[in-house]
Chains A and B, each alone.
Chain A
Amino acid sequence: MSTTAFKSLSTAMFKGFVRDKMSLFFMFFFPLMFLVVFGLLLGDSGEDKIKIAVTGDGPVVAALDQTGAVEIQRFDDERAALAKVEDGDLPAAIILRGNAIQLRFAASDQVAAGTVNGLVSGVVDKLNLSATGQPAAFSLQQQPVEDASLKPIQYLTPGILSWGISISAVFGAALTMVSWRKKQVLRRIRLAPVSAFTVLTSRLTVSVGIAIVQAITFVLVALTPPFGLKLSGSWYLALPLLVLGTLAFFAIGMLVGAFCKTEEAASGAANILVMPMSFLSGSFFPIENAPGWLQAVSQALPLRHMNDGMLDVLVRGKGIEALLLPCSVLIAFTAVVGFAAAKIFRWED
Chain B
Amino acid sequence: MTDAVVVTDIRKSYGDLNAVDGVSFTVAEGEFFGILGPNGAGKTTTLEIVEGLREPDSGTVELLGVNPWPRNPELLPRVGVQLQASSFFERLTAREQLETFGSLYGVGTAKAGEMLELVGLTDKADVQENKLSGGQRQRLSIACALVHDPDVVFLDEPTAALDPQARRNLWDVLRAIQARGKTIVYTTHYLDEAEILCDRVAIMDRGKVLALDSPAALVRGLDAPTRILLQPGALPLDTARELEGVDTAAEDEVSLTISTRKPARVLSTLAERGTLDGLQVRTATLEDVFLDHTGREYRA
- Listed in ascending order, the chain A residues whose CB lies under 8 Å from chain B are 2, 4-5, 7-9, 11-13, 15-16, 19-20, 179, 183-185, 187-194
**CB–CB B51/A12 < 8 A:** no
Q: How far is the CA of A5 from the CA of B90 in the complex (A)?
A: 17
Chain B residues, CB < 8 A from A4: 103, 106
| A16 partner, pick from B52, B53, B79, B90, beta carbons under 8 A | B90
Taking CB atoms and an 8 Å cut-off, the chain B residues in 57-92 that contact chain A are 71, 73-74, 76-77, 79, 81, 83, 85, 87-92
Tell me whether A19 and B91 are in contact in the complex, defined as CB-CB below 8 angstroms, given that A5-B103, A7-B103, A191-B51 are known contacts: yes
CB distance from A28 to the nearest CB of B (A): 16
Interface residues on B, range: 20 to 34
Give the interface SS of chain A, mostly helix, strand, loop or mixed.
helix
Measured CB to CB, the nearest residue on chain A to B105 is: A192
B21 contacts chain A at the CB level, 8 A cutoff = no
With known contacts A188-B81, A191-B81, A8–B87 Cβ distance under 8 A: no
Q: Which residues of A sit under 8 angstroms from B83, Cβ to Cβ?
A: 184, 187-188
- A188 and B90: CB pair below 8 A? no
Sample of 11 further A-B pairs with CB below 8 A, known A8-B99, A12-B100, A193-B105: A5-B103, A13-B89, A19-B91, A19-B128, A179-B90, A183-B88, A184-B83, A184-B87, A187-B53, A188-B83, A191-B52
Nearest chain B CB to A250 CB, angstrom units: 18
Whether the Cβ atoms of B89 and A16 lie closer than 8 Å is yes
Residues of A within 8 A of B96 (CB): 12, 15
Contact partners of A184 in chain B: CB under 8 A: 83, 85, 87
Known A-B contacts A183-B87, A188-B81, A191-B79; A2 and B92 likewise in contact (beta carbons under 8 Å): no
Contacts of A185 in B (CB 8 A): 87-89
Asked if B101 lies at the interface with its beta carbon under 8 angstroms from chain A, I say yes
Is B254's CB within 8 Å of the partner chain A?
A: no
B44 to chain A, nearest CB (A): 11
> How far apart sit A188 and B51, CA to CA, in the bound complex (Å)?
11
13 A–B contact pairs at CB < 8 A? Answer: A2-B106, A4-B106, A5-B103, A5-B106, A8-B103, A9-B104, A12-B92, A12-B96, A13-B89, A184-B87, A188-B83, A190-B53, A193-B76
Which residues in chain B, 90-114, are within 8 Å of chain A measured between CB atoms? 90-92, 96, 99-101, 103-106
Mark out the residues of chain B between 24 and 44 whose CB falls within 8 Å of any chain A CB in the assembled complex. none
CB distance from B88 to the nearest CB of A (A): 7
Complexed CA–CA distance, A8 and B106 (Å):
10
User: Would you give the shortest CB distance from B52 to chain A, in whole angstroms?
Assistant: 8
Contacts of B85 in A (CB 8 A): 183-184
Contact partners of A189 in chain B: CB under 8 A: 104
